[in-house]
Amino acid sequence: MTFPVIAKEFRGGELENTHQGIICVLNEKKEIVYEKGNAEHSTFYRSAMKPIQAIPIFTTNVIEKYNLSNREAALFTASQRGEEYHQDALESLMKKLQLSEEMLVCNKSYPLNEEPKQTYIWEHKPPRRLLHNCSGKHLGFLAYSRERGYGIDRYTELNHPLQQEVLHLVADLSETPFDQINTAVDGCGVPVHGVPLKNMAISFLKFVVPELNKDLKTADAVKKIGNVMNQHPEIVASHNFICTALLEDNNIIAKGGAQGVYCLALKKEKISIALKVLSGSELVWPVIVAELLKDLNYSNTDTIDRLLEIRSNSIRNDNGKIVGETKVFL
């Protein structure tokens, strides 16, 4: 199978990188209004699945029971990057939930962002499970499993009741038959599911058009999830990152995943977008998404400007000098 080119990077006028990919844009009727490549191509959600994985805990009273702030609850959806504000929120969340770090299956890690990582190593601190990119999601899994009496020692296994609930939610939100869902293991050790890119876009559409969810508890949960993500976008990713730049716009729900997967949806317009950069690059996300929003005549130009502040069409060297450009092909 061949895939179309969606972006090229030039340095000094010479082609340096070519990024093939797939893009799918849906309207509120789940109809494709724009397609680049084959939107039926199966794609793993990776961390773009986190808002769906958070639905179970948002159907409980755990947030109220343990007096969690919205900032702490946002960690259930987050790919946190180890900034001090992430560390503080994670410590508080773990303490309130009365969970221990040893319960987490995710690997011990240093902060992902360079500045807190350097500080952490300079202070001779050891890596921690709590600093793993997915630790907030795992704390949510543990709290939900305990609340439902499922047991927590095998919470990452596909046959665990929690993971079966997540699988059913993926099927329901994406409207994908079970026999068409691909399942593997994500980087943090939990099951990750793959669906056609169009169906991935359908699942994100249901976060901005909650009434499309047939189950009322799910519809209520996606509203709550969208609210905490918009209220604390820096928790979901970090400053100078695409998820944060998009979530600062209350009209947008967005989440990216490893290996080039990105999903977002617009509330007022009732439009969803799913894309996959087949090179796995995340660097071209801001430029591609900015161009898509421009093509959709998106009214909030501040959001587009924020994206291009992270990564513009101009490629700069370490001294800030323009040395090349990125061209997007829609």
Cβ atoms of 17 and 11 closer than 8 Å: no
**pLDDT at residue number 54:** 98
Cβ atoms of 101 and 130 closer than 8 Å: yes
Task: Give the domain range for residue 257.
Answer: 5-328
pLDDT, one tens digit per residue, over 82-100 is 999 999 999 999 999 999 9
Number of domains in the chain: 1
Average pLDDT over residues 33-47: 98
pLDDT, one tens digit per residue, over 270-279 is 999 999 999 9
pLDDT confidence band for 185 (50 / 70 / 90): very high
Cβ atoms of 254 and 267 closer than 8 Å: no
pLDDT, one tens digit per residue, over 269-325 is 999 999 999 999 999 999 999 999 999 999 999 999 999 999 999 999 999 999 999
Percent with pLDDT over 90 in the chain: 99
Instruction: With CA atoms as reference, report the closest residue to 40 among 270, 194, 211.
Output: 194
Q: Would you say the pTM of this structure is higher than 0.85?
A: yes
Here the CATH number for the domain that contains residue 195 is 3.40.710
What H or E segment, with its residue span, contains residue 73?
A: helix 70-73
C-alpha distances in Å from residue 90, one per residue of 42, 132, 221, 225, 330? 33, 11, 21, 18, 39
Q: For residue 308, with 0-12 CB atoms within 10 Å meaning exposed, 13-18 middle and 19 or more buried, which class applies?
A: middle
pLDDT, one tens digit per residue, over 104-150 is 999 999 999 999 999 999 999 999 999 999 999 999 999 999 999 99
The single-letter code of the amino acid at 27 is N
pLDDT confidence band for 2 (50 / 70 / 90): confident
Average pLDDT over residues 3-31: 97
Cβ atoms of 167 and 181 closer than 8 Å: yes
